[in-house]
A = this chain, B = another copy of it.
Amino acid sequence: MARTVKGPDARRERWKGHREQRRAEFVEATIAAVAKKGPDVGMEDVAAEAGVSKPVLYRHFTDKSDLYLAVGQRATELLMERMSPALATDGPIKDRIRRIVDAYLSVVEDNPNLYRFVVKGSFVDRPVEKDVVQEDKNLIANTLARILGDYLRAFDMDSGGAEPWAHALVGMVQNAGDWWLDRQTMSRENLSDYLATIIWHAIDGLLRSAGVQADPAKPLTPLRLVD
């Protein structure tokens, strides 16, 4: 009796890492399939791309939306990887905004099909409950909200707007990105500039209204954006 009571049977633990690796493998396969066959791939296609048949997929993902959620999270990782250097770099504030926006747009530009797949081709089943995109947008927006809130508080301003503003900024960049992706009527650089300009003006306006004079060419002082 001694061991059986407590010992959770090593056979269960043995695969822990492996399962995650497998999931990741299927997520990659999905991304590859999307890149090949466009954003409307089905489970069959994904399975084929992974060199496997459907039921195998369903051993690792409960659902289509479960898989899509995982893909969305992976995409968020890719996005963050590309954006975090831009977030971490100190420098002139406006330039920094431009770089962050541009990092986002560069990801969109490099993975148009994946982008469309994640942003548009999801939540087919679960209508409200588990929304892949909203999840990830919230993640980004919450990060932004924290940063904004800290800034506002540091300047002794009302920080109640931080959250809506964060979501507003996210939506703004995303929607402009969507538009740009569909009909690429201007260079990425130009779009980044325009968006950075409008964001900068919004921030500058907020600071002005609190009597703070900010120089677009200098870093904002009271906090560092990423620590």
Q: Name A residues whose Cβ lies closer than 8 Å to a Cβ of B.
A: 38-40, 116, 120-121, 123-124, 127-128, 131, 134, 137-138, 141, 160-161, 163-165, 167-176, 178-180, 182, 185-186, 190-191, 194-195, 197-206, 208-209
- Chain B residues lying within 8 Å of A202, measured Cβ to Cβ, are 198-199, 201-202, 205
- Contact B178–A164 (Cβ < 8 Å): no
- Given the complex of chains A and B, what is the CA–CA distance between A202 and B169 in angstroms? 12
- Contact A179–B201 (Cβ < 8 Å): no
Known: A134-B182, A164-B191. 8 other contacts (CB 8 A): A39-B127, A160-B194, A164-B176, A164-B180, A167-B178, A168-B195, A171-B176, A197-B206
CB distance from A127 to the nearest CB of B (A): 4
Main SS class of interface, A: helix
- Contact B171–A178 (Cβ < 8 Å): yes
- Chain B residues lying within 8 Å of A168, measured Cβ to Cβ, are 172-173, 175-176, 194-195, 198
- Contact A198–B204 (Cβ < 8 Å): no
- Contact A176–B186 (Cβ < 8 Å): no
- Chain B residues lying within 8 Å of A172, measured Cβ to Cβ, are 168-169, 171-172, 175
- Chain B residues lying within 8 Å of A200, measured Cβ to Cβ, are 205
- Given the complex of chains A and B, what is the CA–CA distance between A97 and B137 in angstroms? 25
- Given the complex of chains A and B, what is the CA–CA distance between A141 and B137 in angstroms? 21
Interface residue from B131, B134, B164, B194 paired with A195 (Cβ < 8 Å): B164
13 contacts between A and B (CB under 8 A): A116-B127, A116-B128, A124-B124, A164-B176, A164-B180, A164-B186, A164-B195, A167-B176, A168-B173, A168-B194, A168-B195, A200-B205, A201-B202
- Given the complex of chains A and B, what is the CA–CA distance between A59 and B209 in angstroms? 58
- Chain B residues lying within 8 Å of A182, measured Cβ to Cβ, are 134
